[in-house]
Amino acid sequence: MADDIADDLELDAMEQRIDAWLANELETNPVVAAVERGEPSERRWYVRVLGESKDVFTIWFTLRQRTLHYETYVMPAPDETHAQFFEHLLRRNRKTAGMSFCIGEEDAVFLAGSLPVHAVDEGELDRILGSLYMYVEQFFQPALRIGFATRFSKR
């Protein structure tokens, strides 16, 4: 399956397209607050997004030989009602396209996905950014209220 591996020239070109797309998003998209790059040896971007349900979150884009990986930290591991919390997220996974909720470092909840490198274009990048934004906005508060119910009942 060597056909799905991008060579260095293809990755350089893709990196430039992603840089240009992100520069445009930073200039024109009001929810994109900042864009930073990873280490010089990495093909990684950090996109700070302004939300409503969750005030601010960061999306990581990582360009690899075969895929563009993307993810965002959603919330820490739940304090309580673990079964109900994870059931809620698993049910939400059926409503997400191209990404899913998963458990990451320190049992925190992430929303992550990947796209074949040769399928990456501006339309797909727009879809990924928009979908991550929409899913965090839709699912963050309900999950928070389930996994941290006691904190909300004290208000």
Predicted confidence (pLDDT) per residue in 32-41, tens digit: 999 999 998 8
Q: Identify whether the C-beta of residue 127 lies closer than 8 Å to the C-beta of residue 137.
A: no
List C-alpha distances in Å: 39 to 45, 119, 151: 9, 25, 38
User: What pLDDT was estimated at residue 113?
Assistant: 98
CA-CA distance, 48 to 58, in Å (whole number)?
4
User: What pLDDT was estimated at residue 119?
Assistant: 95
pLDDT < 50 regions, the chain: 1
Longest dimension (CA), the chain: 57
Q: Identify whether the C-beta of residue 11 lies closer than 8 Å to the C-beta of residue 62.
A: no
| Alpha helices per DSSP H over 29-78 | none
What digits encode the pLDDT tens for the residues 96-112? Answer: 999 999 999 999 999 99
Phi-psi region of 123 (alpha: psi -120 to 50; beta: other; left: phi over 0): alpha
Q: Identify whether the C-beta of residue 124 lies closer than 8 Å to the C-beta of residue 69.
A: no
Number of Cβ within 10 Å of residue 83's Cβ equals 9
- 2-147 topology per CATH: Yope Regulator; Chain: A, (3.30.1460)
List C-alpha distances in Å: 36 to 12, 44, 87: 17, 9, 34
Phi-psi region of 121 (alpha: psi -120 to 50; beta: other; left: phi over 0): beta
Domain range list for the chain? 2-147
User: What pLDDT was estimated at residue 52?
Assistant: 96
